């Protein structure tokens, strides 16, 4: 197989790199998995008689992205192989490649090289494990290389390659714009979905300092907080903040210990594009799910709405001997008060950083999606202004500064991530980047 790579591009640079430690940090969709898998095969040939190691941050990514990419390269190159799925080993004519996930300790074998896919999402302990494994004296080219998006200025990746670079190390930057195989409007859509800082990080692969920053940095009270949201139509002025009986009502919940919260939203496509508005909030201190939903039903029940429920995945956990979950309570209390009730909640919450990116992209606004919150939602507005990230640069929410903060904005995030937006398709494609 003949591989054609852009001369001077990050893929070409990674493939040719000889340093002991190599970091390739790139934007979404840049082609990291493609070149990472190809380099693993070439290193296995260079180090014939030795074994290699590939580590993914997630088991599903390993089996649905990394392994198929390896198999595609091997088939195109005409190389015989045996993928031993049960043992998670790829056997090549000249050596084995061990396939692992970063959430588990890596012990018990020696390799000549290692590839860490999305290494910035893996714990520091994983890096130490890999350093201990890559020690084969018979290796012709011993190398540890990492492909990743710049998740934060925190952890072993930033420390060992940027802050205090290891001896014989190299950093290669890559941009989404380098991948000519992407759909023609992919980059343009990403640019419209992200603000400047997010563009630098997740398109151009640059480390961006999110340290001591507001979590919802794209929020602008002058733009997003309204009493009315007037839209000109052929039939006159239409107030988008007025509840629409023909549209589903959305309730998104956060199940906190100190505070029970929820936001009430609607989404429409009036005037083109998606328009998301927060009509109301529920915020009850020292309360519980029953009281929160009871208050919601008191305000919004029996008004002819269908209801869609989003929220915290922990609400599927049973908190009683009767095995009744929070969402069981929601369904039971709402069924006779709404035309229909649909519980749309994933079984596991997404990473906090992904929720923040999603909400900020919505706040940033574009021709495809706009967002407003009614001025009555004082707790949510306070959250969007005052919730901040921890000072360690890890892009975690600071939940200690004020225990009343983060709850209702978390509820907003759970709802936003289930609604169509410019980032939805890109989050689905991230694993292929």
* pLDDT tens-place string over residues 46-70: 999 999 999 999 899 999 999 999 9
Distance (Å, whole) CA 125 – CA 61: 20
Does pLDDT of 306 surpass 60? Answer: yes
Is residue 430 very low, low, confident or very high in pLDDT (cuts 50, 70, 90)?
Answer: very low
Measured CA to CA, the distance from residue 207 to residue 202 in angstroms comes to: 9
Per-residue model confidence as pLDDT tens digits over 82-124: 999 999 999 999 999 999 998 888 988 999 999 999 999 999 9
CB 176 within 8 A of CB 182: yes
Show Cβ contacts of residue 292 under 8 Å, excluding neighbours closer than 6 positions.
253, 260, 261, 262, 282, 284
pLDDT in tens, 361-387: 899 877 678 899 999 999 999 899 888
User: 1-15, 74-88, 377-391 — which is least confidently predicted?
Assistant: 1-15
pLDDT at residue 425, as a whole number: 53
Whether the per-residue pLDDT at 1 is higher than 60: the answer is: no
72-76, 299-303, 350-354, 424-428: which range is least confident on average? 424-428
347 or 140: which carries more pLDDT confidence? 140
Cα 322 from Cα 314, distance rounded (Å): 17
What's the 3-state SS for the chain?
Answer: CCCCCCCCCHHHHHHHCCCCEEEEEECCCCCHHHHHHHHHHHHHHHCCCCCEEEEECCHHHHHHHHHHHHHHHHHHHCCCCEEECCCCEEEECCEEEEEEECCCCCCCCCECEEEEECHHHCCHHHHHHHHHHECCCCCCCCEEEEEECCCCCCCHHHHHHHHCCCCCEEEEEECHHHCCCCCCCHHHHHHHHCCHHHHHHHCCCCCCCCCCCECCCCCCHHHHEECCCEEEECCEEEECCCCCCCCCEEEEEEECCCEEEEEEEEEECCCCCEEEEEEEEEEEECCCHHHHHHHHHHHHCCCCCCEEEEECHHHHCECCCCCCEHHHHHHHHHCCCCCCEEECCCCCCCCHHHHHHHHHHHHHCCCCEEEEEECCCHHHHHHHHHCEECCCCCCCECCCCCCCCCHHHHHHHHHHCCCCCHHHHHHHHHHHC
Start-to-end CA span in the chain (Å): 22
Strands 249-255 and 259-268: antiparallel
The Cα 160–Cα 386 span in angstroms is 33
Q: Which residue has the tokens 């990230």?
A: 389
Residue 358: pLDDT above 60?
A: yes
Q: What is the pLDDT of residue 396?
A: 82
Over residues 22-31, mean pLDDT: 93
Asked if residue 176 lies in contact with residue 30, where contact means CB atoms within 8 angstroms, the answer is yes
pLDDT of amino acid 104? 85
Kindly indicate the confidence band of residue 431, based on its pLDDT and cuts at 50, 70 and 90.
very low
Quote the pLDDT of residue 354. Answer: 87
Q: What is the pLDDT of the chain when averaged over all its residues?
A: 89
- Range with the poorest average pLDDT among 161-165, 263-267, 427-431: 427-431
Which band of pLDDT confidence, cut at 50, 70 and 90, is reported for residue 142?
very high
The C-alpha angle 180, 186, 190, rounded to 5 degrees, equals: 125
Q: What mean pLDDT is predicted for residues 72-88?
A: 96
**How high is the pLDDT of residue 347?**
87
- Cα separations in angstroms, 140 against 13, 49, 113, 271: 19, 10, 10, 63
Query: Structural domains in the chain?
Result: 10-202 (3.40.50.300), 221-432 (3.30.420.280)
Residue 214 scores a pLDDT above 90: no
């Amino acid at each position: 197989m003949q591989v054609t790579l852009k001369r001077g591009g990050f893929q070409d640079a990674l493939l040719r790199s000889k340093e002991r430690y190599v970091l390739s940090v790139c934007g979404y969709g840049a082609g990291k998995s493609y070149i990472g898998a190809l380099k693993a095969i070439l290193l296995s040939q260079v180090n014939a008689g030795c074994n290699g190691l590939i580590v993914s941050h997630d088991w599903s990514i390993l089996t649905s992205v990394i392994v198929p990419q390896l198999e595609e390269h091997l088939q195109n190159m005409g190389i015989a192989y045996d993928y031993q799925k049960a043992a998670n080993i790829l056997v090549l004519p000249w050596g084995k490649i061990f396939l692992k996930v970063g959430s588990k300790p890596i012990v018990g074998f020696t390799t000549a090289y290692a590839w860490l896919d999305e290494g910035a999402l893996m714990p520091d302990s994983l890096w130490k494990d890999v350093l201990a494994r890559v020690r084969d004296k018979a290796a012709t080219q011993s190398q540890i290389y990492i492909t990743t998006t710049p998740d934060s200025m925190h952890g072993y990746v930033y420390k060992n390659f940027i802050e205090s670079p290891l001896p014989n190390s190299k950093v290669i930057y890559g941009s989404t714009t380098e991948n000519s195989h992407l759909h023609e409007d992919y980059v343009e859509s990403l640019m419209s979905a992200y603000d400047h800082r997010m563009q630098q990080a997740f398109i151009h692969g640059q480390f961006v300092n999110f340290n001591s920053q507001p979590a919802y940095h794209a929020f602008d009270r002058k733009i997003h907080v309204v009493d009315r949201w007037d839209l000109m139509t052929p039939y006159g002025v239409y107030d988008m903040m007025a509840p629409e009986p023909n549209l589903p009502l959305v309730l998104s919940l956060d199940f906190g210990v100190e505070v029970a919260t929820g936001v009430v939203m609607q989404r429409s496509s009036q005037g083109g594009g998606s328009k998301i508005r927060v009509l109301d909030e529920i915020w009850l201190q020292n309360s519980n799910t029953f009281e929160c939903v009871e208050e919601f039903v008191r305000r919004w029940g029996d008004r002819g709405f269908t209801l869609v429920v989003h929220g915290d995945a922990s609400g599927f956990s049973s908190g009683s001997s009767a095995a009744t979950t929070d969402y069981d309570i929601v369904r039971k209390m709402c069924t006779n008060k709404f035309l229909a009730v649909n519980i749309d909640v994933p079984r596991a919450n997404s990473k906090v950083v992904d929720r923040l990116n999603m909400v900020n992209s919505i706040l940033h606004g574009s021709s495809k999606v706009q967002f407003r919150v009614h001025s009555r939602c004082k707790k949510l507005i306070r959250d969007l202004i005052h919730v901040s990230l921890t000072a360690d640069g890890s892009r975690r929410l600071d939940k200690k500064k004020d225990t009343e903060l983060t709850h209702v904005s978390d509820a907003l995030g759970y709802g936003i991530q289930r609604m169509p937006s410019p980032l939805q398709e890109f989050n689905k494609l991230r694993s292929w980047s």
